[in-house]
Structure 1
Amino acid sequence: LEDLHAGRKQLDGFFQQDKYGARTFNQHLYDQHVLDLLIDARLHKPLAACFGGEPEGIQTMHFYEGSEHPLHQDQYYLPDCMSAWIAMVRVDENNGPLIVQPGSHRGRLITKSDVPMTLQPGETYELQQHNRYFPAVKQVFRENGADAVQVLVNPGDVVLFSGKLIHGGARVLKPGARRHALACHYIPYDSENWERDWPRISFDGSRRIHYR
């Protein structure tokens, strides 16, 4: 992964962006190793227990470093989802751990009905996020009345959390420090709220395209 990031190796389909930390999107669609992690059999039982039914993998993001991402809720972007966040290195106060607001998954979810994705004249996606969406989440954070906590983990630890949980990335105290982590996102098999034409991948490896 470091060789891909530095350009020393090539992989068809490899793509990354530097906004909110260097990361790749949906690497499981062209990288068998990442696909194996997305549908690792050890994740099936806890995900199925959380959903009350079969899970399907729909997105992966590999982070090279702490994102410092503002507080947000994944279900705004990916309806009905939950996350399995896999740490590949030790994550501590220095390299930008996750920050979460405990219990916020039981509170209010900001949806596209509250903050439409439709851009206003002269507005970019980044402006929509910073001027409208992130402030709305911050207001819910204040309403919930609980402090955020950092999630400090060891290599191989997996953090499972609801897509309604308010979370973000803590400030990176050691610039340049690596924080390799794979964020895997899932939705229930019976979800009818999915909006994208991405493959929905079951833990037996089967795929389907199903969205509203």
Structure 2
Amino acid sequence: MVMAFPHKEQLADSLRGLVEEFGLVIEDIKITKAGAKSAIRIAVDTADPRAERPDLDRLEELSREVSAHLDDAEAKGDMSFGPGYTLELSTPGVDFPLTERRHWVRNIGRQVRLADGVHRIAQVGDEDVVLITPHKKSPRVRRVRFADHAGAVVEVEFSPAPNAEAELVGLAIEAYDVPEAQDPAED
């Protein structure tokens, strides 16, 4: 029986343990099926959002292990990749959407684009995020549930944060005495 090209969930299930041995998590898998031009793109990151992202040497080592694992799975008949495929292993790029709490934590201090504009991530709680919104007189601070803003994307900045915003970044979560889901239109 010839196995079909594996789908994203099959690959994730097959690779999860191996990736975790490296102290990493699978963030995303993209599969492009095109015969000999098929591609498997795997984005991995550290499980601890405050840890350094894996360097190129670590990614290269993991890539060799993943490649060997997939070759073994194909040889055993557990998976079939057709006439050939390309494996790409990387960390998530700046355009990777923030969907998990750890994504928000990793980006504390950075600007993020939400549906209502650009804000700076000041701090992250268990289920909410404290956002700083630039304002003429002084920055506004509000809390929102990060689950309500899954898919937000980091904005690239080419200069440091304004002092008034930078001073609000990284305080203890209790220091932000603002109501949850405060409507900025009320200001």
Q: TM-score, normalised by structure 2?
A: 0.26
Larger radius of gyration: 2
Which structure's residues are more often strand, by fraction? 2
Structure number having the greater helix percentage = 2
Higher relative contact order (CA 8 A, sep 6+): 1
**TM-score scaled by length of structure 1:** 0.24
